[in-house]
Every structure is written in C-alpha cells, then in structure tokens.
C-alpha cells in the first residue's frame, strides 16, 4: 500500500510541476513588444493612416478655374514614420453614381502619432456633387 501511495504522490508531483511550467515561462520583454509593434506598423500602414478632406475652388486669379483637395492625414502608429501617402479620391453625381476616381500621392513625411495638413490640385469633374477620399497606400520611412 505504501508503494501505491508513493507512486501516486510522485505522479501527482510530476503532473503538478508540468502544469506550473507554462506560468513560469519568461515574460515578453519590452524590446520584443516594441519590435513586434514596429513590424505590424510597417506591414500594415492602412491600419495606422487616415485622412479627412474637403474640396474647394481656387480663390485667386491664377487658380480660379482649378479645384483643390485639402485636409489632414493622420498617422496613429507609435513608432513608424510613413511617406508618400497615396489617396484615392472618388467623385459622385447627385444620384450617388461614381463619375470618376483618381489616385494622388502626397509626398510628405508623417511622423508617428501626428496629424499633418495637406493641399493639392485635383481634376474634380464639374458635375461632381459629393466625393470620398481614402488612404490607398503609404510607405514606411523607417529603416
């Protein structure tokens, strides 16, 4: 009987010890978490870049016949700088039918966790009543 109790106790101890090992694994270091975050930011710029914009008519003699898109591009990444943000601008009629679309590249540097203003000329059709703009792509500026 003592051998049976001893064997059960040994089996229980080994079983209990193996259950404890995953809890005793080394905690992830701050450097590892920062690296994983940096990789995710570089690989998924669309998760961290956003745009808000409006369209206006040129105001002076030289630009009166042109339209401009202006607004803010936000980079919510914590570590990654982005550059050369490609925006897709879609123009809609009064019936919400897509009239035209164009891609424009805003060649600026976007620091982490910042909002940057922009303004660029666009080829908006005269029949446009509404428009939509979204970030299509951005390049990581980190080495």
Q: Please compute Rg for the chain using Cα positions.
A: 28
Which parts of 6-97 are beta strand (E)? 49-57, 67-75, 82-92
The Cα angle at residue 101 between residues 113 and 141, in degrees rounded to 5: 30
What per-residue confidence (pLDDT) applies to 23? 46
The half-sphere exposure of 121 on its side-chain side, counting CA atoms within 13 A, is: 8
**Per-residue pLDDT of the chain in tens (143 residues, 90 and over written 9):** 555 455 555 565 555 555 544 544 455 677 776 677 777 888 889 999 999 999 999 888 888 889 999 999 999 999 899 999 999 999 999 999 999 999 999 999 999 999 999 999 999 999 999 999 999 999 998 76
Domains by residue range for the chain, with CATH: 46-140 (2.60.40.10)
- pLDDT tens-digit map of 130-141: 999 999 999 998
Instruction: Note whether 121 and 87 are within 8 A (CB).
Output: no
């Amino acid at each position: 009987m003592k051998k049976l109790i001893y064997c059960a106790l040994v089996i229980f101890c080994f079983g209990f010890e193996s259950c404890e090992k995953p809890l005793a694994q080394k905690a992830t270091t701050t450097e590892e978490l920062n690296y994983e975050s940096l990789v995710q930011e570089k690989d998924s710029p669309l998760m961290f870049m956003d745009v808000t914009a409006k369209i206006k008519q040129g105001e002076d003699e030289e630009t009166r016949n042109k339209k401009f898109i202006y607004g803010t591009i936000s980079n919510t990444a914590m570590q990654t700088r982005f550059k050369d943000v490609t925006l897709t601008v879609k123009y809609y009629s009064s019936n919400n039918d897509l009239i035209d679309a164009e891609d424009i590249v805003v060649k600026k540097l976007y620091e982490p966790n910042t909002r940057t203003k922009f303004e660029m000329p666009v080829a908006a059709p005269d029949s446009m009543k509404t428009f939509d703009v979204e970030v299509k792509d951005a390049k990581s500026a980190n080495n």
